[in-house]
Amino acid sequence: MPRYHVIEAGRVVNTVLADGPNSLPGVVLVPDDGTAEIGWGYDGEVFVLPPPLPGPVPAVVSDRQFFHALAISSLITEAEALAAVRTGDIPAALQVVIDAMPEGDRFHATMLLSGAVEFRRDHPLVEAVRLARGMTDAAVDDLFRLAGGL
């Protein structure tokens, strides 16, 4: 009995033995050509290797890595990234977040952003920036992955 891949939403979700491509009503079966596995894509003609899984998210990145990644991602300018690392200047996009904080939190946030030598993914200020900028958790994770590779 030949092997077939079960396709759902353009993705291989199972491999089964079947009499033919129409032997399971309501199920899209594509003959197994020996190249694909569960998780692979199918574009209607050929199987497509799935994209690689993202690497782990660094828990901590240096200030240089952090501001470099922000600049590469166009969240701040290159000049702002250099000034942040050289002199502790706070980029405008981050200053807006600080300015929107309760008065009692502004000094602490300013001290952290202007003087930190490392940034932690799990720090509450990272979450505050994420929310203020309308970023997803995945986008921040990607930013930290990018930073960790710099």
pLDDT digits (tens, 9 = 90+) for 8-51: 999 999 999 999 888 888 899 999 988 899 999 999 999 999 88
The answer to whether 38 and 14 are in contact (CB under 8 A) is yes
What's the pLDDT score for residue 53?
A: 84
End-to-end CA distance of the chain: 52
What's the pLDDT score for residue 1?
A: 85
**% of the chain residues with pLDDT over 70:** 100
This prediction's pTM: 0.70
Average pLDDT over residues 85-103: 95
Task: Provide the 3-class DSSP secondary structure of residue 68.
Answer: helix
What's the pLDDT score for residue 48?
A: 94
**Over 90: is that where the pLDDT of 63 sits?**
yes
Residue 88 neighbours by CB under 8 Å, 6+ apart: 113, 114, 115
Nearest-angstrom CA–CA distance, 20 and 135 = 47
Residue 145 Cα to chain centre, angstroms: 8
Comparing CA positions, the residue from 3, 5, 135 lying closest to residue 70 is 135
Nearest-angstrom CA–CA distance, 36 and 50 = 10
What's the pLDDT score for residue 99?
A: 96
